[in-house]
Every structure is written in C-alpha cells, then in structure tokens.
Amino acid sequence: MSAPLGATSRTRLPAPGWPRTALLSLSDKAGAADFARTLATHGTRLLASGGTAAHLAAAGLAVTAVEEWTGFPEMLGGRVKTLHPHVHASILARRSSPEDMAALAERGLEPIELVAVTLYPFETRGVELDDAGMIEEIDIGGVALLRAAAKNHDGVIVLHDSAQYAEVRAALERGVTPEERRRWALATFARTARYDAAIASELARRSGDPGEPPAFHALLLERVRTLRYGENPHQGAALYARAGSPTAPSTWREGRELSYNNLLDLEAAVALVWRFRRPACVIVKHNQPCGAACAASLVDAYSLANAADALSAFGGIVAFNRALDGETARQLAGRFVECVAFPELTPEADEALRGRKNLRLVQLTAADLASPDPWRVRLVGPWALLQREAQAQAPPWRVVTKRPPTDAESETLAFAWEVCGAARSNAVVLARGQEMVGLGSGQASRVDAVDVALMKANRASHTTHGAVLASDGFFPFADSITHAAEAGVTAIVQPGGSVRDPEVIAEADRLGVAMVFTDRRTFRH
C-alpha cells in the first residue's frame, strides 16, 4: 500500500482565493471537464473518484485518483471509495484550529477546499429497478461527502448539481463570500434530505399495500417565490414546490404578482375546466365556481359562464380549456378579471388584453397541476391528513325513481355533477343545458344549499323551470326535493345513502322528478 499523496507533493500553489484541492465525485459528469479545467488553470489540484478521475484524465487533465490520496484501493465493487479518514479529515478539518491543521500535516495531507458531488440517480433509476438494483442506486459515500463539506462550509465550497458550476466559477473569480458558502451548504443539506426522503418513500411504497396509506410519507418543499402576503395582508406567504422540481405557473404576462388567493383560485378553476371535453369556461371566486359552461365556441362558453352569476364573477379567476382567441379576449377586456388561465394565447388575444396592466395571464392546464404523488397532504395543526382518489372506477349511476331522466336531462346532470364536485360542501348546483345557473355551497344544511342555489339563480334572472340539480351528498330529508320541484327542477343527481332514501325517492315520484344515485359522494371541505 503506497503512502498518501498530500501537501508535500504539491508543485505550485493555487491563485489567491482559489481552492488548494478540489474533490470531484460525479454521477452526472455534464460540464465537469470544463469546470475542472478552470480550477486546474488557477492551480487547484484535482482529486477524483474512479469514474470521474477517468473522465477528467480523458479530457487531458492532470488528476489524482482518490486511492492515491488515501493509499487504499476502492473495495466491494466500488461501494467503498471515498469513505476514508484521509478524505474526510481533509474536508472536516477546522481551518482555524492549529491542532486540526497539524493533524493533517502529520499525515502529509492538505485541506480539500471544494467538494463537487452528484449523487447516484436514485429518484429516476432506483424506482424503476427491482429491489437488488434499487439498493445499488442508494449513494453512501457521495452523501457523506456532501454532508461533511456542507458542515464545514466556512472552509469548503460544496456543490451538489452541475448547474452550479457557472455560479461557483464566477464567485471564485471575484471572491467567494461567507453568504454564498452558507447558501450552497443549505442547498446541499436540502439535497441530501430530498435524497433520503426519496429512498424512504420508495422503500415504504414497496413494503406496503399500494392502496393503503404509507407507513412513512416524506415531503420536502423548496421555495419557488415569495408572495406579497397570504390570504390577508398581515400574513406572510410564499409559493413552494416539491424540492428538486421548483416550478411556478408559466406566466405569459403578469401585471401584478400572483397572490396567495390567486394561486388557490387558479388551481380550482383550471382543475374543473379541464374535466369538460367541449370548449369550456370556469370562473372561480374565493375558491368556488361561480360560473361554468360548455358551448360550441369559447366565446359562447365565457358568455354563459359569466352570466351564471355576473355579480360574483366580478374580479374572479377565469379558466379556459382551449386556446384563448381574440373574440373571447375582447369580451374579457371589458370586464374586471384578476387572472386568466389558458393552454395557449393567440396573438390576437394577446393584443386585445395588452392594455390591461393589472391582469395576470397564466398558461396553465390540468396536466401542469398533476402531482407525481398520488397522496394529497393536508396539514391540520400538529397533524397531517393524507388521502388519494379511489383506484376503482366510479360505480354506474342508478335510476331510483319511476321516471328516468331524459337524454337531455342526463347530459345536464353529468355537467352539474362535475361542477358540484368542485364546490365546497354542502354543495348544490343548478344547471340548464351546459350552463350552471345557481350554486349553493359551504352550507351547514343541505336544504339551505338548495335555497341558496335557487336564490342565486333568481337573482341572476335565470329560469329554474326545467333545470336539473346536483348534490354532493345525500338528502337527509325530503324537504330539499320539495323546494327544488316547486322551483321547476325536473331531475336530480345525488349520491344516495341516507336512512331516509325511501322517503326522498317517494317525494321525487310524487312530484314527477327523475332521480339518479351515483353511490359516491364528492364532499370537499
């Protein structure tokens, strides 16, 4: 076994401010040779683990292999490469401690002042492999290097992503600040936390029933942007995404910053509008669909949606499931709207809305809102609630009255049911054709939800004769059916499941109202 190659074998010192020795151990080698060449040009010794050392040598760079530095060859097929005191002591030695620096000198070592590690790609490869293959994608030495360097960031620059090379190179050229060192260390600890969370989550997934809540659920969030404030001006707030994929809605043009409430309403509007196949428009206010319609054209869908409750639509969030065209945009331009979401924006629409300086135009679809995690997390004080959508297909609807709904009623019931599922419980939706005409939501009583929906329909001058009604939960009493029928409702869709279902069905039969059960409720609290 040869002696370690340390400080005594150095031929020249690095330029001021540049690291004496840089250790590179890279799974992702993109940009590594260029970055290493810059370091070498400024006198930095390059130290690298097996595959990285070969990569740099092939690029014509002088590089010291880790086993030369340690005097110990890698073992166990590469499982043990950098786990050695001569590596970790050179990283962890406190530069301000004479005892630490003397300990390095006694062994012919010099401090490692830059560590660049990209971990085995567990998140992308590990989840695709069998158990044995997955285990081999769990990085041990790389995580240990990153944590050691991040811990000692006062004296060590630490990089965990090839995208950082340009930033670090620029910082070295002008002089690295303590704030930059701390920021890189923080990003590194977040990276190792995310890595461990991915491993734990995958092991938990493989260990349990896929349909059962996992025994362990890890979620690490990374700030994407700060927000002016939260739901109210006195509350601080920010937008976060799952760490490793910090994304925000793609803003076409943002007159003012998207707010906390805007983002909540955008999610509600976009998620609903993309449930419809025909050209559709949904308007959301305070997380509630105050307008929804499908039509042959986008401009007609918008006109119908806005007419559903024009009073509530004032200052709302508008979402479309088709490219926003000039005619529709000109209709929008004449009304006060906070945000407009669309899959595409035509040049004519862009021009029509260009003068609206406070209007936020956001390119957003249901696919953009899709989560890679099937479990939805909701924090409740010191606890967290997890739930997921049922894997089984929804049961077929059942006609429970003597009169089945007509084909036209069935089509409208299906539309109303989708809208109802997006409203807050207790929720009742009135619809005619493919247009919502009344919404009662967030009510403690279901009969109140019916009455509020009727009140809003009447206030907006909609006729309720021939309308249909959707309810997100069962009717505990027959009084709601009576109220709806007296207003002209001819068909109802509801989950069923009340102990008084026979009474409710009998009242619908007495009044000639068609009723279907979905056998699945859509509460949204």
Supply the residues annotated as catalytic. 151, 286
Cα pseudo-dihedral 7, 9, 12, 15, rounded to 10: -30
The strand order across the sheet containing 64-65 reads 64-65, 45-48, 21-26, 114-118, 157-159
- Range list of H helices, 354-445: 366-369, 407-420
- How is residue 388 written in tokens? 């997921």
Q: Rounded to whole angstroms, what are the CA distances from 276 to 310, 405, 417?
A: 21, 21, 12
Q: What is the DSSP letter of 423?
A: S
Cα pseudo-dihedral 284, 289, 291, 295, rounded to 10: 100
- How is residue 242 written in tokens? 């799952």
| Separation between Cα atoms, residue 217 and residue 335, nearest integer Å | 45
| Separation between Cα atoms, residue 322 and residue 344, nearest integer Å | 7
- How is residue 103 written in tokens? 């300990």
Q: Is 168 exposed, middle or buried (0-12, 13-18, 19+ CB in 10 A)?
A: buried
- How is residue 334 written in tokens? 């004449």
**Bridge partner list, 342:** 363
CB of 270 within 8 A of CB of 341? yes
**Bridge partner list, 45:** 21
| Separation between Cα atoms, residue 511 and residue 501, nearest integer Å | 15
CA-based max dimension of the chain: 100
